Structure formats: C-alpha cells, structure tokens
C-alpha cells in the first residue's frame, strides 16, 4: 500500500508495538493519561506507607518504631513524593485523558514531547526512593529543602536535587503541551468561554507552572552549587543568605499549592452540575476567580515566613494579600453551593466526594486564614496547626477531588461502571478517617506541639493516638479504591456513552470506553 509521506501522522494505530514497548513509545493521550494515573497510584502507596511509618512512631510519646534520623527522612520524602509524585502526576493524568476529549481535539499538541514528559517521572521517582539506600540514608531536611540542612547532608541530598530538576523538566513539558493544546486545538465553536471549567483551571495551572518552575529549578541548582562548587548563595558561613532561599522557594511554593488545587476546583465544577442536574452557577465568575487566585498567588509567598523576621509593613502586606485570596475562593464555594441549591441532586460516589471536598476544603481555607494573621501565625507556625491546615486542603481538597474525578470518569475510561456499594463504603471510611486523623492536629498545634519531631511531650499523647488510628484506617481504606478500580477495568456493568444522566460535554458524546482515537475530525460545538 503506497503511503504519502505527509500523511504518516494519520496512520498511527497501524503497526503498533506491543507489550512494554507499546507503553514506552506511546504518544496517545489516553495511554499517557493512564500511565500518569498508575504512576501517581504507585507513588501514593509508597508515600502513604511513609506516612504510616510517621504515624506509627507518633502513636505514643517516646521513641518506639524508628530512630529520629529515619523519621525525618520519612517526613521529607513523604512530602516531596506526595506533592511531586502523586498529586501533580495525577492531575497531569486527568489533563491528558480529559482535555482533548473535552475540547474536541484528537490528541495533545505535541504527542512525542508528551511521551518524554511522562517517562521522566519514573526516573525521578526512582531517584527519590533510591536516596533511602544511600550512605547516610535519605534527605532529612524537610520537603521545603531549606538550607543550612540541605547544604550539609550527604549524597542523597544531591540525588534529591537532581530528582527535583527532572520533575521540573517534566512539568514544563507537560504544561507547554497543555497550554498549546487548549489554545490551538479547540474544536470549531469551542470558544474560551465555552470551555469546561476543568480545562480552564488546567490552562491557568499550566501558566503557573511555566512561571514558577524555573524559580524552583534555579533555587535547587544554587543549593547544589553551594554544596559542591563553593558558591555561597545560601551559605551563611560564606556570606550567603539562607533566608533568601526561603523567599525563592516560597515564590515558587505558594503558586505550587495552587497548582495542586486549581485542577481540583475544575473537577468539582464538572461533577457538581452533573449530579445537581443544573448548569454551573456563575461560570464566568468561576473563570475570573480562578485567574484572580492565580495572580494573587504570586504576591503572598512570605506568609510562610512570618517568623524569620521582616519589617512590620512587609508582615502587613503579606497578611492582607493572603487574606485577599479568600475572596475569590469564597466566590467559588458560593457558586458550588448555589449550583446545588434547588437542584435535583443524587449522591453517587463522585458527588459524595465532591460535596465532602466543598465542606472540608473550606475548613482548610479557614485554617489558612487563621495562619495568615501574622500575630497568630507567629504562635502556630511550624506546629501541627499548619499540618492540619495543609492536610485539609491537600487530602480532603486535592486528593478527594482526584478520587472524585476518577469515580466520575472511570466508566468513560474503562467502559464499565464501578461498584457503587464499594464506592460508598470507600467514601464513608475515607471521610470519617480523614477527619479523625487531621482534626485533632488543630488542637495539638494550638497547644504547641511542633511539627517534624519524632517525639513529643506527654500532654499531646491522646490526640496523637487518635490521629494515628485515623491514619491507619484512612490508609487501608484506600485499598478498597484500588480493588474497585481493578474490578472496573476487568469488567462490570456496561457504561452508556453519557454514563451520568446529568452529564454534559463532548467527552460524553463518544462511546464508553472512549476509543483509542477520538475526534480525529473536530466536532462542531454550537
């Protein structure tokens, strides 16, 4: 059969490699999306196990399970892997699967770069886990990598820095791909203000990544040169400024926390209208609120550093700018609630997780506001109150939205309905155990228990014991999720194209499971 060279791009799917090569060489957005999801899932088990090591040690005061040095390695790697190896890759997985389907594009704009972007991740993940087997063990300076600790440790610190570089490169490739796909490959009629909110939130997230990842890469590179090449960017002994590292890190870090949560806002904004059977309330205000949050996220970084010493005017500036973010966030919460108001609601598992998201993320937002008040933060900084805050926004926020999204789109991905009864069980166990784990941490923090220590004073014993029980319950409940996903992949009730009665959008017009190639010719959106 004669082939015209210019058409080679049309002919994928003809001679496809099989087995492992299929996955190594795939440029298909659905394949790559699945790879990202599985990678996130595996890393979740690893980082989750680390969390259970931490909670096992903290079950009782005193040192029982691990030695303090290893404990610190666990907190450091747990944080790094959860942020860079679980939440971010999971969102990239959703982006790959859903964005082309939602805007009517046949694939991502740069399929080959998409493949590289993914395959960098297992390399970085491997390096991070490898650090544990290096002389002196893994990095123990905290996920924030502050000097002086991070310029003093052994070889595993260099490996960690290298892994962060690789992760950054992967994020850049992913975000360039996402931005170009969304901007250039929308189907005719899919104007910007008709795009599903998930697509909008990812567009803004990708922008945040592009703007901030070089800052992180530069920061860790300067740590590396301070460690190995006698520079003194952050090394006080050579006239460097360790506090400046914190400024640079958080200039990246605060936008980063929005990178973790904006796609969650998107997913929840897809799910709630579906199960309330009403269009999203205030679509345009959702878009503007997302953009405002993103812009504000550049001018609040020093709220992580109120205790390092800064002029009162700076404290005031960062306090007020931080509190300002609560306004667009409030708009969002209001819109979700207003969408449900007088809707014909049903409570399938995705909706349950989405509703839990709205309630519990809001608790995390409120505790964030508490932290944002300088005088209060000087008291609670580096205590368990902060740990409670960021786990409410990250576990019941980002992670719950990921889980909700998986339940929501799993029938489209696999062609089978998941087991609803098990889904509900998973939901109730997760939501209850999550609160058992993290709510008492507010009390511990207010009472003065510092974070990142393997031991604590006796008066903190009860709440710590409760938190540890909750953590183990939460951890083991997630196995239900894994089982349920595998079960849906293997078989089960056939899903219809639309899957959910109230679902709207292009992804629900293609068959379930979504065929390997979709929208090779753009649909026309009215």
For residues 195 to 224, the per-residue mask of contacts with another protein, x marking binding by CB under 8 A and - elsewhere, is: ------------x--xx-xxx-xxx-xx--
Task: Please give the Cα distance from 412 to 398 (Å, whole number).
Answer: 21
Considering the complex, state which of residue 28 and residue 322 has its C-beta at the smaller distance from ligand HEM.
Answer: 322
Which residues pair with residue 383 across a beta bridge? 450
Residue 152: strand, helix, or coil: helix
**Per CB under 6 A, 365 contacts ligand HEM:** yes
Considering the complex, state which of residue 183 and residue 378 has its C-beta at the smaller distance from another protein.
Answer: 183
**Per CB under 6 A, 260 contacts ligand HEM:** yes
Task: Please give the Cα distance from 379 to 509 (Å, whole number).
Answer: 54
Rg for the chain (alpha carbons), in Å?
23
What element of type H or E holds 279? none
Considering the complex, state which of residue 370 and residue 510 has its C-beta at the smaller distance from Cu ion.
Answer: 370
The answer to whether the beta carbons of residues 346 and 272 sit under 8 Å apart is no
Considering the complex, state which of residue 176 and residue 461 has its C-beta at the smaller distance from another protein.
Answer: 176
How many residues appear in the chain?
A: 526
Which one of 174, 263, 266, 397 is in contact with ligand HEM (CB under 6 A)? 397
Which one of 165, 254, 332, 389 is in contact with Cu ion (CB under 5 A)? 254
Which one of 55, 332, 389, 442 is in contact with ligand HEM (CB under 6 A)? 389
The answer to whether the beta carbons of residues 319 and 373 sit under 8 Å apart is yes
Applying the rule CB under 6 A, the residues between 134 and 173 that interact with ligand HEM are 144
Which residues pair with residue 450 across a beta bridge? 383
The answer to whether the beta carbons of residues 134 and 159 sit under 8 Å apart is yes
What element of type H or E holds 45? helix 29-57
The answer to whether the beta carbons of residues 419 and 487 sit under 8 Å apart is yes
Which one of 248, 280, 286, 371 is in contact with ligand HEM (CB under 6 A)? 371
CB under 8 A: which stretch of 8-16, 78-86, 283-291, 445-453 binds another protein?
8-16
Residue 232: strand, helix, or coil: coil
| Token pair of 11 as six digits | 């002919």
Question: Please, where are the H alpha helices in 373-419?
Answer: 374-380, 384-393, 400-414
For residues 306 to 325, the per-residue mask of contacts with ligand HEM, x marking binding by CB under 6 A and - elsewhere, is: ----------------x--x
Contacts of 267 by beta carbon, 8 Å cutoff, 6+ apart: 94, 198, 354, 401, 402, 404, 405, 408
Rama region for 146: left / alpha / beta (φ>0; ψ in -120 to 50; rest): beta
Shortest separation between residue 320's beta carbon and another protein, angstroms: 22
Considering the complex, state which of residue 254 and residue 412 has its C-beta at the smaller distance from Cu ion.
Answer: 254
- For the annotated catalytic residues, the residue numbers are 78, 107, 143, 170-171, 254, 256, 258, 269, 303-304, 329, 332, 451
Considering the complex, state which of residue 6 and residue 18 has its C-beta at the smaller distance from another protein.
Answer: 6
The answer to whether the beta carbons of residues 404 and 269 sit under 8 Å apart is no
Task: Please give the Cα distance from 283 to 201 (Å, whole number).
Answer: 12
Q: Which does 325 bind (CB under 5 to 8 A by kind): Cu ion, another protein, ligand HEM, none?
A: ligand HEM
**Per CB under 8 A, 521 contacts another protein:** yes
Q: Which does 68 bind (CB under 5 to 8 A by kind): another protein, ligand HEM, Cu ion, none?
A: none
Shortest separation between residue 180's beta carbon and another protein, angstroms: 6
Considering the complex, state which of residue 109 and residue 289 has its C-beta at the smaller distance from ligand HEM.
Answer: 289
Interface residue list for another protein (CB under 8 A): 1-2, 4, 6-7, 9-11, 105-107, 109-111, 113, 168, 172-173, 176-177, 179-180, 183-188, 190, 207, 210-211, 213-215, 217-219, 221-222, 225, 233, 244, 248, 251, 519-522
Interface residue list for ligand HEM (CB under 6 A): 144, 257, 260-261, 303-304, 322, 325-326, 329, 365, 368-369, 371-372, 377, 381, 386, 389-390, 393-394, 397-398
């Amino acid at each position: 059969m004669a082939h015209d060279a210019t058409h080679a791009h049309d002919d994928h799917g003809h001679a496809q490699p099989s087995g492992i090569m299929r996955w190594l060489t795939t440029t298909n957005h659905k394949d790559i999306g699945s790879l990202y999801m599985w990678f996130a899932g595996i890393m979740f088990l690893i980082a989750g196990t680390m969390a259970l090591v931490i909670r096992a040690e903290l079950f009782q005061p005193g040192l029982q399970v691990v030695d303090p040095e290893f404990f610190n390695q666990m907190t450091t790697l747990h944080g790094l892997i959860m942020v860079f190896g679980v939440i971010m890759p999971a969102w990239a997985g959703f982006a790959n699967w859903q964005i082309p389907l939602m805007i009517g594009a046949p694939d991502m704009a740069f399929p080959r770069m998409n493949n590289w972007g993914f395959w960098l991740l297992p390399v970085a993940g491997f390096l991070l886990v490898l650090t544990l087997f290096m002389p002196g063990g893994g990095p123990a300076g905290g996920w924030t990598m502050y000097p002086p600790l991070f310029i003093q440790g052994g070889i595993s610190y260099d490996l960690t820095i290298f892994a962060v570089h690789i992760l950054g490169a992967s994020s850049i490739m992913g975000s360039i791909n996402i931005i170009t796909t969304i901007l250039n490959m929308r189907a005719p009629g899919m104007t910007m203000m008709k795009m599903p909110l998930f697509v909008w939130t990812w567009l803004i997230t990708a922008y945040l990544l592009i703007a901030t990842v070089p800052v992180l890469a530069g920061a860790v590179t300067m740590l590396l040169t301070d460690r190995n090449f006698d520079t003194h960017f952050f090394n006080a002994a050579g006239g460097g400024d360790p506090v400046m590292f914190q400024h640079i890190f958080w200039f990246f870090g605060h936008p980063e926390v929005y990178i973790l949560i904006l796609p969650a806002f998107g997913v929840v904004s897809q799910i709630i209208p579906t199960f309330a059977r009403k269009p999203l309330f205030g679509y345009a205000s959702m878009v503007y609120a997302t953009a405002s949050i993103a812009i504000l996220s550049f001018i609040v970084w020093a709220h992580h550093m109120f205790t390092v010493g800064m002029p009162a005017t700076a404290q005031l500036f960062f306090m007020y700018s931080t509190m300002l973010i609560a306004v667009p966030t409030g708009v969002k919460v209001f819109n979700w609630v207003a969408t449900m108001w007088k809707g014909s609601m049903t409570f399938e598992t995705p909706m349950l997780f989405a509703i839990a998201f709205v309630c519990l993320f809001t608790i995390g937002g409120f505790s964030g506001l508490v932290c944002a008040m300088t005088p209060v933060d000087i008291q609670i900084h580096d205590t368990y109150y902060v740990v409670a805050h960021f786990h409410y926004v990250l576990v019941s926020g980002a992670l719950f939205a990921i889980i909700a999204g998986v339940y929501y789109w799993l029938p489209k991905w696999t062609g089978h309905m998941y087991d609803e009864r098990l889904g509900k069980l998973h939901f109730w166990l997760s939501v209850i155990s999550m609160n058992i784990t993290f709510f008492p941490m507010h009390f511990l923090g207010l009472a003065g228990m510092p974070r990142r220590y393997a031991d604590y004073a006796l008066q903190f014993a009860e709440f710590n014991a409760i938190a540890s029980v909750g953590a183990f319950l939460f951890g083991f409940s997630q196995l239900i999720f894994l089982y349920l996903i595998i079960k849906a992949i293997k078989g089960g009730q056939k899903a219809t194209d639309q899957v959910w009665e109230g679902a709207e959008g292009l992804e629900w017009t293609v068959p379930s499971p979504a065929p390997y190639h979709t929208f090779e010719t753009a649909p026309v959106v009215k």
